[in-house]
Amino acid sequence: MDSLPLLADHPYASFLDQVEKPARYAGGEVGSVVKDWASVEARVCLAFPDVYDIGMSHLGFKILYKLLNDDPRTLAERCYAPWVDMEAELVKRGLPLVSLESARPLRGFDVVGFSLQFELTYSNILTMLHLGGIPLRAAERGEDDPIVIAGGPTATHPEPIAPFLDALVIGDGEEKATEVALTWTRLKREGVPRRERLVAIARLGAVYVPSLYATRRDPDTGFEVVDRPLVDGIPFPVERALVDLNRYPFPDESPAGGPEAIFDRMSIEIARGCTEGCRFCQAGMIYRPVRERDPEQVVDTVMRAVKKSGQDEVSLTALSTADVSCISPLIKKVTERLTAERISLGVSSLRAYGLEPDLLDELKRVRATGLTFAPEAGTQRMRDVVNKNVTEEQLLETAERVFSRGWGKMKLYFMIGLPTETDEDVRGIVETGARAAGAGRKAAGRGKPVDVTVSVSTHVPKPHTPFQWAAMDTLAEVARKQQLLRDTVRPYRAVTLKTHEAHASVLEGVFARGDRPLADVLERAWRSGARFDSWDDQLELSVWEEAFAHAGVDRAKYLGTLPVTARLPWDHIDVGLEEGFLAREYRKALQNRLSPPCGKVAGTFVHHTNLEDARADARRLVCYDCGVACDMTQMREERLTFLDRLGAHKRSLPLITDAIAAASPEAAASPEAAASPEAAAPPEAAAPPEAAAGAAGEPARAGEEAPSRREEAPGAAGGAPRAARAPQGRGGFRYRFRFEKTGPVALLGHLDVVRELPRVLRRVGAPMTYTAGFHPKPDMTFSPALSLGVISLDEYVDLRLERDLDPAALGALVASMTAASPRGLVFRAGAKLGPEDPSVSKLIAGARYAIAFARSAIGGDAEAALAARCSAALSAASLPIRREIERLAKMVDVRQYLVRAEVGGPEVLSALARAGLAGDLVALDVEVDIRGSGAVKSSEVAAVIAGEPGGAPGAIVPPPHRAVRLELFGRAAPAGSAAGERFSLLDLERARRVKAAPERAAPASLAADAG
């Protein structure tokens, strides 16, 4: 049953708190931009075909959001795929999918731009189009429908999704997003017909408009390939866009403060592209050449981003961060600046092999529980095939070093199903893990536990890689190899084997190398219920089986070995590689031959870390003439300039290890500091913001599910250190703040609010102190958690700030905090606490709620009816109700906690209005006890007073209502005694006179609005 609307004028207001994580759909984050709709020429909806929590971590999305909103001619809003529960609600209610910022349906925008990160999100694109009110197929769209465009890594092999898209931007999206949006809207204003507008868009270059190209069946493979353009003057093949990154500095702000994103930190892209040339990795091929951002610009961006975001962790990201030429001095420079701000630094994908002992010492100092590396293959031959430049000796040396420093765990990532793989290679995966464990056991010493986890996924051959012609293992073969792994691991007790569900990988393989006829399969599967196919618990295999059968499509065709000479369904997309390059690399792979990294000095794997060495080294840089035509002289010069700008002049300059030590002098001084390299940044985002959709998510490796839904992805070469925050114990100065939670923040989980508050304080320049211990946390205590959707006008938090503030400064701080908070988080007052002042959790003895109902929901004389119910409730000896927590039911006697219940008067109705509740309302005004032993929820009070029995035995269903916590208070007499005089939690004089009782707050397990 619907609740009273919590967000005024939002189309989902009446049922938002009935879906999982409602704040995913509410918007209002800090840094979200709501521009005047009428003030711009083009309105773009950036659409991400996965849930908010995943989409919010994608850097390309952030780049385009800022770029389009900074331009006075354009605006950008966001929309993420609705989770299945929300989709069901929208369908049931006939409501459209709307943007987060202005709650407009997708069909109301000029441009809808999808981010194509992963083939298994295609069904969600159809969901979003359908719910957004846009015809599914491009051919069905009318003159007034938005242009539906897409970009991202999978836009480079788009045929299975092409019929649903009007256009795809190939390559970097920074320039094209604005150009496409403005061209489209200008031509529309001029009355140019849709098809001619599409032709004009195609002529912009780096834009593929599928409807303007003819396809034909290739006789060799049976694939439908793109044959020729149907109109003059459009590109064939379509070349990708390539931008100078330094003309587009990475954004220093983006929306934050909603539900927790999968990578909850400030990630800054420091380079695009990669030098390593792993043959399974599409990102390493399609984002060539490696382009590094000016390190001075990176440092400035980091500092501004920290200030604006309030985040306490920054991550420098690239496909292979360790291979960015100036990474060591850059880390040093960044950490010098961050140390003063007590911000942790994460560096994704540092090289795992040949790890310097000093670096491991640093890692160990932060008390990691384990380290993660990605050798990818189990034998040297296989590592040579995939061009993974690492030897087993390096891996074993690393294992020795890891375990000799006291770590008990190490995780290794591998793939099965790689070209030329034999059973020996498969067994080699486990045996490599076992040898690492053996080396580790020796190094760890007798009796020390050693555990090596071997995590094995299935290789998916990807277009535009040397393995694009290779066969993918069938499900039966994957199952056989997984069994072989299980058989092999049996004697090795120190090795833990993890294999991954392969059905999704096979589907990914089909759609990766698929052609246009697969669009029919996709639509059929979607119509039959396919959603979130990359989520193991959502993938419905039977639906896909039926769709393939119905369309008469044989999946095996897409999974076998392809002739190197064949025309392929993605041949019309030119990612910059010369025709023969991939084939040469494929042949080398089949001959077990390595191609050492390009763009580095021949014979080296690590860049010089100082100008002196870099200048002195006149050896040539490796190049394989892949086709992107790097200017090696310019590359060398740019690197010298970067080292110069970072002040990395002399050979004695610190390496990465020293930089990290410098970043964290406190960490060096204390073993308490805690940051787990296992929790260190995985390699988010190194891809560009393709098209208006934005990409730059985690560069999922070939054969892998997006890292967001699997175990934390390793870096290209393993875990990375973070500069640890100084433990501060109980230092600093104590304050109590009173605040309100209304609007979208009332839909935010308690833990999200807990996460957000330290960031608010950092944004306004008032950082908190942290607890001591292995995992230092901001030192704060909140009043009891509220249930989702319960509004509060009286919340409290006790916390410690680094600064001593006089009353005027504290008042100014309170005033500034609201502006730095998500919409609906409003700070009202603050007080400085003395060392002896009892904490808020010891003082809270009760709460007062307004429980509002629509008059129509009560019926008749609503006030009289509620008054009668109140008196019956107060006369009852007990008011039992069934409560379920994590499927465990127990009976709770609400009467034990109910102190007062009456019909709310004008004061309550005015509080409801202040809480944002409108309409013809009638309210209960209730007071309940909050005790250390327990408390009751406002919904339980609403149920026992105004509800009807229903559902399970003992359950009572309240009428649709909305609760507002009006007041939290202490009592001058023990809890449970209504006679005790109430006092405000900011009345410190009074609070000091109360002998602090043992912890009064309700147990956390209740997680309720009263406890």
**Other CB atoms within 10 Å distance of the CB of residue 875:** 8
Minimum distance between the CB of residue 273 and ligand SF4, rounded to whole angstroms?
7
**With binding defined as CB under 6 A, does residue 279 bind ligand SF4?**
no
Q: In what order do the strands lie in the sheet with 266-269?
A: 266-269, 313-317, 344-347
Nearest C-alpha neighbor of 4 from the set 948, 915, 925: 915
Nearest C-alpha neighbor of 322 from the set 638, 898, 636, 715: 715
Helices (H), 342-413: 357-365, 380-386, 392-404
Report the residue number, 241 or 845, with the smaller CB distance to ligand SF4: 241
Report the residue number, 582 or 788, with the smaller CB distance to ligand SF4: 582
Q: Which residues contact 594 (CB under 8 A, 6 or more apart)?
A: 384, 387, 389, 588
Minimum distance between the CB of residue 89 and ligand SF4, rounded to whole angstroms?
49
Minimum distance between the CB of residue 287 and ligand SF4, rounded to whole angstroms?
10
b/e per residue 6-39 (b: at least 16 CB within 10 A): bbeebbbbbbbbbbebbbbbbbbbbbbbbbeeee
Report the residue number, 616 or 629, with the smaller CB distance to ligand SF4: 629
b/e per residue 462-491 (b: at least 16 CB within 10 A): bbbbbbbbbbbbbeebbeebbebbeebbee
Among 210, 251, 289, 934, binds ligand SF4 (CB under 6 A): 289
Minimum distance between the CB of residue 632 and ligand SF4, rounded to whole angstroms?
7
Report the residue number, 389 or 742, with the smaller CB distance to ligand SF4: 389
Scanning 407-415, 498-506, 547-555, 627-635 for contacts with ligand SF4 by CB under 6 A, the matching segment is 627-635
Scan residues 630-649 and list those touching ligand SF4 (CB under 6 A).
630
Minimum distance between the CB of residue 380 and ligand SF4, rounded to whole angstroms?
24
SS3 string, 932-986, reads CCECCCHHHHHHHHHCEECCCCCCEECCCCEEEEEEEEEECCCCCCCCCCEEECC
858, 866 in Cβ contact below 8 A?
A: yes
**With binding defined as CB under 6 A, does residue 37 bind ligand SF4?**
no
- The amino acid present at 215, given as its one-letter code, is T
Scanning 264-272, 624-632, 782-790, 884-892 for contacts with ligand SF4 by CB under 6 A, the matching segment is 624-632
**With binding defined as CB under 6 A, does residue 628 bind ligand SF4?**
yes
C-alpha angle 122-128-131 in degrees, rounded to nearest 5: 145
Scanning 218-226, 361-369, 625-633, 866-874 for contacts with ligand SF4 by CB under 6 A, the matching segment is 625-633
Minimum distance between the CB of residue 277 and ligand SF4, rounded to whole angstroms?
8
- Please say whether the dihedral angle defined by the alpha carbons of residues 750, 752, 753 and 757, taken in this order, is positive or negative: positive
**With binding defined as CB under 6 A, does residue 785 bind ligand SF4?**
no
Cα separation values, 761 from 187, 263, 552, 819, Å: 47, 21, 60, 11
Distance CA 149, CA 128 (A): 13
Scanning 186-194, 234-242, 472-480, 621-629 for contacts with ligand SF4 by CB under 6 A, the matching segment is 621-629
Distance CA 278, CA 829 (A): 57
The DSSP bridge partners found for residue 925 are 850, 902
Give phi and psi for 898, each to the nearest 5: -80, 115
Among 236, 624, 733, 774, binds ligand SF4 (CB under 6 A): 624
Among 626, 786, 793, 879, binds ligand SF4 (CB under 6 A): 626
Helices 122-131 and 84-93: crossing angle, nearest 10°?
Answer: 30
Site string for ligand SF4, 494-513 (x = CB under 6 A): --------------------
Cα separation values, 966 from 603, 796, 927, Å: 70, 12, 10
Minimum distance between the CB of residue 248 and ligand SF4, rounded to whole angstroms?
21
Minimum distance between the CB of residue 291 and ligand SF4, rounded to whole angstroms?
10
Scanning 463-471, 622-630, 938-946, 980-988 for contacts with ligand SF4 by CB under 6 A, the matching segment is 622-630
Among 24, 188, 288, 459, binds ligand SF4 (CB under 6 A): 288
Report the residue number, 186 or 584, with the smaller CB distance to ligand SF4: 584
**With binding defined as CB under 6 A, does residue 605 bind ligand SF4?**
no
Scanning 100-108, 240-248, 617-625, 832-840 for contacts with ligand SF4 by CB under 6 A, the matching segment is 617-625
Give phi and psi for 77, each to the nearest 5: -120, 170
Q: Which residues contact 22 (CB under 8 A, 6 or more apart)?
A: 16, 747, 788, 789
**Helix (H), strand (E) at residue 779:** none
Distance CA 287, CA 626 (A): 12
Minimum distance between the CB of residue 175 and ligand SF4, rounded to whole angstroms?
21
**With binding defined as CB under 6 A, does residue 251 bind ligand SF4?**
no
Minimum distance between the CB of residue 574 and ligand SF4, rounded to whole angstroms?
14
Minimum distance between the CB of residue 319 and ligand SF4, rounded to whole angstroms?
13
Report the residue number, 174 or 276, with the smaller CB distance to ligand SF4: 276
908, 923 in Cβ contact below 8 A?
A: yes
Distance CA 753, CA 755 (A): 5
Among 434, 598, 911, 991, binds ligand SF4 (CB under 6 A): 598
573, 208 in Cβ contact below 8 A?
A: yes
**With binding defined as CB under 6 A, does residue 466 bind ligand SF4?**
no
Report the residue number, 584 or 750, with the smaller CB distance to ligand SF4: 584
Report the residue number, 288 or 982, with the smaller CB distance to ligand SF4: 288
Minimum distance between the CB of residue 288 and ligand SF4, rounded to whole angstroms?
4
Task: Examine residue 563 and say whether the peptide bond preceding it is cis (omega within 30 degrees of 0).
Answer: no
Give phi and psi for 490, each to the nearest 5: -50, -50
Minimum distance between the CB of residue 620 and ligand SF4, rounded to whole angstroms?
11
Report the residue number, 626 or 713, with the smaller CB distance to ligand SF4: 626
Report the residue number, 51 or 614, with the smaller CB distance to ligand SF4: 614
- Determine the distance from the C-alpha atom of residue 226 to the mean position of all C-alpha atoms in its chain, rounded to a whole number: 35
**With binding defined as CB under 6 A, does residue 171 bind ligand SF4?**
no
Minimum distance between the CB of residue 636 and ligand SF4, rounded to whole angstroms?
11
Minimum distance between the CB of residue 317 and ligand SF4, rounded to whole angstroms?
20
Report the residue number, 336 or 625, with the smaller CB distance to ligand SF4: 625
Distance CA 409, CA 520 (A): 47
**With binding defined as CB under 6 A, does residue 599 bind ligand SF4?**
yes
**With binding defined as CB under 6 A, does residue 271 bind ligand SF4?**
no
DSSP helix/strand/coil, 585: helix
Minimum distance between the CB of residue 601 and ligand SF4, rounded to whole angstroms?
12
Scanning 86-94, 378-386, 424-432, 628-636 for contacts with ligand SF4 by CB under 6 A, the matching segment is 628-636
Two structure tokens written together for 493? 């007790």
Report the residue number, 245 or 543, with the smaller CB distance to ligand SF4: 245
Q: How many residues bind ligand SF4 (CB under 6 A)?
A: 11
Scanning 509-517, 529-537, 618-626, 997-1005 for contacts with ligand SF4 by CB under 6 A, the matching segment is 618-626
- The amino acid present at 670, given as its one-letter code, is S
Report the residue number, 688 or 743, with the smaller CB distance to ligand SF4: 688
**With binding defined as CB under 6 A, does residue 623 bind ligand SF4?**
yes
Cα separation values, 782 from 772, 789, 791, 968, 1009, Å: 19, 18, 15, 12, 12
Scanning 25-33, 255-263, 500-508, 623-631 for contacts with ligand SF4 by CB under 6 A, the matching segment is 623-631
Where does this chain bind ligand SF4 (CB under 6 A)?
Answer: 288-289, 598-599, 623-626, 628-630
